[in-house]
Amino acid sequence: MRFAHPLVHGTLIRRYKRFLADIRLDDGQEVTAHLANSGAMLGTSTPGIEVWLSPANSPTRKLAWSWELCRVDGALVGVNTAWPNLVAAEGVTEGRIPELAGYATLRREVKYGRNSRIDLLLEAPDRPPCYVEVKNVHLKRGDWAEFPDAVTARGAKHLLELRDQVALGARAVMLYLVQREDCIGFRPAADIDPTYAEGLRAAKGDGVEAICYTCSMTLDGITIKERLPIDLGGLGN
């Protein structure tokens, strides 16, 4: 995934109301940017950090900027949760995720289950359909990437939906996409959301697959990079 326009550098003043951030551009101008991220953004919203913005494509949009990246401990980190689904879809079609290879078609945002939409639905005539739920990850504690960074009832619901699909004979995959390159593995943030962590372990026990990939983060774009090991507290990868 390549950014449509060159990114603009600035310094974070503050993040507030979940979806807004005040940023000082290098020319001294202060702007308010849209932030496509409803999470707590632990470690990635500290005032004073470097950030990069993209200009809005629509001249009629209320806010002229979107917050895309920040730099934390020397690493570029993606904070825009609108991109992982597209990055994952490109990764599948380009063969960057071998575990999801071999399907004839890929569809996005397909209705299924109990009033839900699956991020990616992979299908082929000679195998069961594969339901792929994509989760954005940018939280890092120690050397590990973790999810979630806030309690997520919606995430827990998605795990139940995937378990139901396995029971119906389909394949179901939780794909964690880490928008940074400086982690050695992935694990659920059990202290932040114990319900989600236990739900992930239960889903794995019922046949839902969990895989995690880092992303190559540059000022030009974001692409799938490499697979990370997953620690589910005894169930392994």
- Delimit the domains of the chain by residue range: 8-77, 84-228
pLDDT band at residue 235, thresholds of 50, 70 and 90?
Answer: very low
Cα–Cα dist 103/130, whole Å: 9
The CATH number given to 8-77 is 2.40.50.580
Residue 178: is its pLDDT beyond 50? yes
Extended beta strands in 63-194, E state: 65-72, 75-78, 105-112, 116-124, 127-137, 139-141, 144-147, 171-178, 185-188
- Second-level CATH architecture of 84-228: 3-Layer(aba) Sandwich (3.40)
Alpha helix stretches (DSSP H) within the chain: 84-93, 153-167, 194-205
Cα–Cα distance list, 1 to 58, 101, 177 (Å) = 19, 19, 13
- Within 8 A by CB and 6+ apart from 61, the residues are none
**What average pLDDT does this structure show over 168-177?**
98
Q: Of 39 and 60, which is predicted with more confidence?
A: 39
> What pTM did the predictor assign?
0.94
Residue 72 phi/psi, 5-degree rounding, is -130, 120
Range with the poorest average pLDDT among 12-16, 54-58, 195-199, 208-212: 54-58
Question: In this predicted structure, what is the pLDDT of residue 237?
Answer: 53
What pLDDT, in 10s, does the model give residues 119-130? 999 999 999 999
Mapped onto helix, strand or coil, the DSSP state of residue 56 is coil
